[in-house]
Amino acid sequence: MQIQYLEIANFRKLLSVRIDLASTTTLLVGANNSGKSSAMLALRKFLLSKASAFRLQDLTLAHLTTINAIGAEWEEADETFEIPAANHWTHWLPTLDLWVEASQGELHYIKDLIPNFAWKGGCVGMRFRLEPKDMAKLFTDYRKERNRVKTLLQEILSKTEEGKTPPTLSLWPQSLHDYLNRRLGAMFTIRWYRLDPAQLCEPDPKTRHARLQTLSANALPLESNPLTDLIRVHEINAQRGFGDSAEESVTEGRGGSGKKLTEQLRAYYSRHLDPGDSPDISDLEALTAIQAAQSAFDSRLTSSFAPALVEVAGLGYPNNTDPAIRVETRLSPTDGMNHEAAVLFELDSVAGAPGAPPMRLPETSNGLGYQNLISMIFQLMAFRDEWLRKYKNTEEQSDAGVEPIHLVLIEEPEAHLHVQVQQAFIKHAYHVLCNEPLLKKYPRLKTQLVVSSHSSHVAHETDYANLRYFRRLPAGMAGVPIPVSTVSNLSTVFGDKNRHRQTKEFVTRYLRAQHADLFFADAVILVEGAAERMMLPHFLRSQFPFLDRCYITILDIGGSHAHRLRPLIDVLGIVTLVITDLDAGLKKSAVPVKRKAKQETNNPTLRSWVTALGVGHDVDTLLDLDGEQKSQHIDHLFAIRIAYQTPINIVLPKTKGEVQALPNTFEDSLVLSNVQHFATKQGRGLTKAFAKALRDSASADDLGKALFDALRSGDKAEFALQVLGDPDFATVAVPEYIREGLAWLEEKLQKKSKELLIIPTASVEVTAE
């Protein structure tokens, strides 16, 4: 048994999304403000909190107009008005649908969720819905409060002297929205409903919104929470509050839920390890030592308190009929953990004098990263043992009373952790949750881990098929007036067909070997090779400061492989600029670029991506395309543009007028865009060859052939490093085809700049409001 799907609707940015859960670890990824935290908060509020934890701001903002319209209708209602049932508000009430895969042998766990007597196993569903406790009471109370406001306004108006403007007061409530802003927690509750597996639908393929099942008008809620005895939920939220004392947290108004390691270890010890609780043979040595210490301490206390007790007796108490006073200790094994220095970190140091004590520091003196890592590991162990009812006094463990599903939620585990530790944690977290012999003995007990993260290093260590990508949609897209999010299951990007298997394997291996920050970026630039990868950040910094402040991923994918990323780019819906080479060829052989020579591009990326634009592969057509023909607009936020070498007008030292040069790669395009800069260089390798070609060539064709020959045997990476190390690098002009592509990318991102994480320039002072 395991959870198959989570469907969240009408909660913050999540208007309607489905999250497919992997059988082990599911990682939620996406750019800043894409809805990952909203998903984790929805799970927390529906599964772990009470209705009072909800606020009006938890509703999707697009529904506020609808709510106010309902309030206006209520205010105008007369005696004949029929108060609607909660099922009439399903289009805006926050919901969580949870679908579980079960078999017939597990009927006793899902007895309240079985849709009919014909059910033979498969999915069963339950809906958690935030709705009014009592619709009639809500209707009456709202009308009463609004009538009170109207009466007060009339009194204010009547008491205002003639000719004077009455004071403007914003009395609560102004609308149903304003009313619920204060009364939602008191007037609403969470109720549970059975869902019909036959009506379970796949998300809309175009908008990617989940198509939630509509409850019938007479649907009745379940009498009790269907999760009881079915799913055990634990969470580690992002606000762990390490390094802060309780007083500091209160003073600064932070709501961190973190505990010191001492408190966590003491709680774990007292619950699962305490030798004083039903001891066994292995505990006798510790208990004997505690008893001896207690006896010795009691003797010392008796002798120490004797003079004081004699003095008390001089006051007439105790007399012969009163009970005597005796001072005695009671030492508990858990008392040894009940102090700040219970957890110490021992320092590595050069050996000192014989018998010198080791150097140790309390937990608060250690780095936050170690505190966070150790804390999370102990919490996972505690979650596991609590779920399995693994206590010290358990005589023989079994699966009796244990929920078949253990759902653990972890939000942003990367906080305070170094890169290597982030990767180590995500690799081992699920193992910690399952590291218990009882789980091997009873394989029907299932643990599922859901993690949200902003870290590309965490994503790097997670199986590609287990990533769930949250995509931001701008206001106005898909008919929604506000920004919302969608979720994509990356395990289905390439489908299950064998013809996609190699592509899927390549993309998976590439992302694991190179970059995983693609899943968190605002835009992506795919480049041809190492030279572009090294120089592009400098071009952005010097000539495109807006792009330099955006979160852009630059991937060096190579000319023969960039097209393989296209299915993934389509699913992510991320603005993409592909910078590649023209790579002219004749009968599949590489040649210098010439017009009217029946040449075609040999570049697989260019051939694949321009085909999607409806353009041919011949070089003459490609050279004459304008910028609009090189781009494809899929929706308001998602667009793709291809950028490759274009003709450049230059003046050669041996020519008197301009000639049109036709570059073939990034390197010769860079040289042709900076003829005066490179013609006088005295470097080595390609730099020397390029300078000689510029000085000696008498025509554009001669120059093209000389550059082509030099590039066939030259070291491109060495050339790029020489250019970067040139003292005059700041004066190097960006090749026009790259400049046009970057200008297009800048325009796209500026249109949706409110959705992006943009780092302010150093000259801008950022103040907290």
- Joined tokens for residue 715: 């070291």
On the question of pLDDT at 761 being above 60, the answer is no
Q: Give 370 or 237, the one with higher predicted confidence.
A: 237
pLDDT digits (tens, 9 = 90+) for 423-466: 889 989 999 999 999 999 998 999 999 999 999 889 888 888 89
- Joined tokens for residue 109: 């766990």
Q: What is the pLDDT of residue 511?
A: 67
- Identify the band that residue 273 occupies on the pLDDT scale cut at 50, 70 and 90: low
Query: Which string of b and e fits 321-355 if b means at least 16 CB within 10 Å?
Result: eeeeeeeeeeeebbeebeeeebbbbeeeeeeeeee
Q: What is the pLDDT of residue 359?
A: 58
Mean predicted confidence (pLDDT) in 214-236: 92
pLDDT digits (tens, 9 = 90+) for 598-643: 999 998 888 888 777 777 889 999 999 998 899 998 887 789 999 9
Residue 526: CB atoms within 10 Å: 28
Are 375 and 264 in contact, with CB atoms under 8 Å apart? yes
Burial degree of 443 (CB within 10 A; 0-12, 13-18, 19+) = exposed
- Joined tokens for residue 456: 């590309």
pLDDT digits (tens, 9 = 90+) for 683-699: 889 999 999 999 989 89
Distance CA 151, CA 143 (A): 12
Question: Hey, where are the domains in the chain?
Answer: 2-230, 648-734
Q: Is 468 helix (H, G, I), strand (E, B) or coil?
A: strand
Confidence (pTM): 0.82
Distance CA 582, CA 588 (A): 13
Please report the sign of the dihedral spanned by the C-alpha atoms of residue 687, residue 693, residue 694, residue 696: positive
Q: What is the pLDDT of residue 342?
A: 47
Q: What is the pLDDT of residue 510?
A: 65
Distance CA 146, CA 171 (A): 10
- Identify the band that residue 367 occupies on the pLDDT scale cut at 50, 70 and 90: low
φ/ψ (deg, to 5) at 483: -65, 130
The number of residues making up the chain comes to 769
Q: What is the pLDDT of residue 277?
A: 53
Among 703, 699, 700, residue whose Cα is nearest residue 711: 703
Q: Give 240 or 128, the one with higher predicted confidence.
A: 128
% of the chain at pLDDT higher than 70: 78
% of the chain at pLDDT higher than 90: 45
Helix or strand run (H / E) with residue 732: none
Distance CA 402, CA 404 (A): 6
Distance CA 420, CA 432 (A): 18
φ/ψ (deg, to 5) at 468: -120, 115
Among 631, 575, 633, residue whose Cα is nearest residue 756: 575
Q: What is the pLDDT of residue 324?
A: 58
- Identify the band that residue 252 occupies on the pLDDT scale cut at 50, 70 and 90: very low
- Among 129-138, 377-386, 523-532, the range of highest mean pLDDT: 129-138
Distance CA 93, CA 549 (A): 38
Of 96-110, 256-270, 390-404, which gets the smallest average pLDDT?
A: 256-270
pLDDT digits (tens, 9 = 90+) for 170-204: 889 999 999 999 999 999 999 999 999 999 999 99
On the question of pLDDT at 140 being above 70, the answer is yes
On the question of pLDDT at 512 being above 50, the answer is yes
Q: What is the pLDDT of residue 330?
A: 59
Are 14 and 484 in contact, with CB atoms under 8 Å apart? yes
Q: Is the peptide bond before 318 cis (omega within 30 degrees of 0)?
A: yes
Q: What is the pLDDT of residue 245?
A: 43
On the question of pLDDT at 577 being above 70, the answer is yes
Q: What is the pLDDT of residue 298?
A: 67
Among 81, 64, 58, residue whose Cα is nearest residue 12: 58
Q: What is the pLDDT of residue 763?
A: 42
Q: What is the pLDDT of residue 333?
A: 57
Q: What is the pLDDT of residue 502?
A: 64
Beta bridge partners of 589: 586
pLDDT digits (tens, 9 = 90+) for 534-564: 899 999 999 999 999 888 999 887 656 777 7
Distance CA 149, CA 174 (A): 8
Are 446 and 2 in contact, with CB atoms under 8 Å apart? yes
Among 207, 661, 217, residue whose Cα is nearest residue 479: 207
Q: Give 710 or 499, the one with higher predicted confidence.
A: 710
- Identify the band that residue 127 occupies on the pLDDT scale cut at 50, 70 and 90: very high
Please state, in angstroms and as integers, the Cα–Cα distance from residue 596 to each residue in 103, 476, 586, 600, following that order. Answer: 68, 46, 12, 11
Q: What is the pLDDT of residue 548?
A: 92
CA angle 146, 81, 54 (to 5 degrees): 50
Q: What is the pLDDT of residue 518?
A: 86
